[in-house]
Structure 1
Amino acid sequence: MEQEFWHQRWAENQIGFHRDSVHPMLMAYWSALNPRLDEEVLVPLCGKSIDLNWLAERHERVVGVELSDIAVRAFFSENLYTPQVYTAPSGHTHYCFDELELISGDFFTARLQPAPLIYDRAALVAMPPSMRQQYVDRVTSLLAPGGRMLLVTLFYPQSDDHPPFSMDEQLVRQTYQGMKVTLLDTCTEPCGERGEQVWLIQAAE
């Protein structure tokens, strides 16, 4: 989506995608990545997710990237953290507190190092079809050799062109062709037409 769309959503506090609790699929399936304490975690389009706290309790370094500075500042304010703040030559603002570093600005232009672990709960599904491949190319370029990503997607009968975008199993596998793609679990609502899926995406060694 256009950046202005997301800036407006955060400015108007229209953030129905934000969860007030740690995502259960993260807690249940993070271990499938065989993560180590010393492995860095990258979280694209992180918002103010408290999943960041959960990851920071288990890793020495967690880096989130978020377009909206409102979201980043809200994360630190709501968690009563006082970060160190600096602006990089790229124009991105970095907020650092203990294991956490949140980068405010465009994910596509942020200067990032490849990470062994990536967590995507709401990034891929936020991308319209016209931007999906650009996002996938970017995120897979940031997955270190042998790296692992935990991906959470949604599926439902979509009748509009607004996020979150529905991603069925075939589309996920097509989107990440060239990677090792493993479906870990599907959680379906009683109607059977809506639900979430959690995936393990692995890069070649």
Structure 2
Amino acid sequence: MEQEFWHQRWAENQIGFHRDTVHPMLIRHWPSLAPQSDETVLVPLCGKSIDLNWLAEKHQHVIGVELSEIAVRAFFSENLYTPQVYRAPSGHTHYCFDELELINGDFFTARLSPMPLIYDRAALVAMPPAMRAQYVSHIRTLLAPGGRLLLITLFYPQADDTPPFSIDASVVEEAFQGLDFRLLETHTEPDGERGEQAWLIKAAAS
């Protein structure tokens, strides 16, 4: 989507995608990545998710990237954190507090090194089909050798072209072809037509 779309959603507080609790699939399946506390975690398009707090309790460095300054400031305000703030040469603004680092700006132009761990709950599903390949390509470059990605997707009968976008299994399988991927869980709502899936995706070791 155009950046202005997301700026407007946050400005108008149209954030139905935000959860007030830690995502249960994160809690259940993060151990499947065999994560180590000294491994950095990247969370693209993180919003003000409290999943960041949960990850920061288990890792020494958690990096979130978020386009909306409103979302970043809200995260620190609502958690009563006072971050150190600096502006990087890339033009992105970094907010740092203990284990947490939130980078405010365009995910595609943020200067990031390949990461051993990535958590995607709201990024792939936010990408319209026209941007999906670009996002997946970028994520693949950011997954370090031997790196692991926990990906959570949604599926439902989509009637419009606004996010979150329905992602079926074939989309994930095609996007991450060549990597080791495994479906960890499918949770289907009582109507049988909508639900969520959790995927473990691994890059080959160097």
Give the TM-score, by structure 2 length. 0.99
Task: Determine the C-alpha separation between the residues in 2 that align with 1:119 and 1:171.
Answer: 18
Q: Structure 1 regions of 5+ residues with no counterpart?
A: none
Task: Determine the C-alpha separation between the residues in 1 that align with 2:193 and 2:181.
Answer: 23
Q: Does the residue aligned with 2:201 lie in a helix, a strand or coil?
A: strand
What residue is the counterpart of 1:86 in the other structure?
86
What residue is the counterpart of 2:173 in the other structure?
173
Matched, 1:164 2:164: yes
What residue is the counterpart of 2:128 in the other structure?
128
What residue is the counterpart of 1:188 in the other structure?
188
Runs (4+) of structure 1 exceeding 2 A deviation are none
Q: What are the Cα deviations for residues 176-199 of structure 1, in whole angstroms up to 9, with x where unaligned? A: 112111000000001111000000
Task: Determine the C-alpha separation between the residues in 2 that align with 1:4 and 1:201.
Answer: 31
Task: Determine the C-alpha separation between the residues in 1 that align with 2:27 and 2:69.
Answer: 27
Give the RMSD, CA atoms, in angstroms: 0.5
Task: Determine the C-alpha separation between the residues in 2 that align with 1:162 and 1:10.
Answer: 15
Q: Tell me by how many angstroms 1:90 deviates.
A: 0.7
Give the TM-score, by structure 1 length. 0.99
Task: Determine the C-alpha separation between the residues in 2 that align with 1:151 and 1:37.
Answer: 19
Q: Tell me by how many angstroms 1:203 deviates.
A: 0.5
After TM superposition, the structure 1 = structure 2 runs for residues 16-95 of structure 1, keeping only pairs within 5 Å, are 16-95=16-95
Q: What are the Cα deviations for residues 50-100 of structure 1, in whole angstroms up to 9, with x where unaligned? A: 000000000000000000010000000000000000000110000000000
What residue is the counterpart of 1:5 in the other structure?
5
What residue is the counterpart of 1:111 in the other structure?
111
The letter for the 2-side match of 1:69 is E
Q: Percent identity?
A: 77
Q: How many positions carry a matched residue from both structures?
A: 205
Task: Determine the C-alpha separation between the residues in 1 that align with 2:160 and 2:38.
Answer: 42
The letter for the 2-side match of 1:133 is A
Task: Determine the C-alpha separation between the residues in 1 that align with 2:147 and 2:112.
Answer: 15
Q: Does the residue aligned with 2:71 lie in a helix, a strand or coil?
A: helix
Q: Tell me by how many angstroms 1:29 deviates.
A: 0.3
Q: Tell me by how many angstroms 1:111 deviates.
A: 0.3
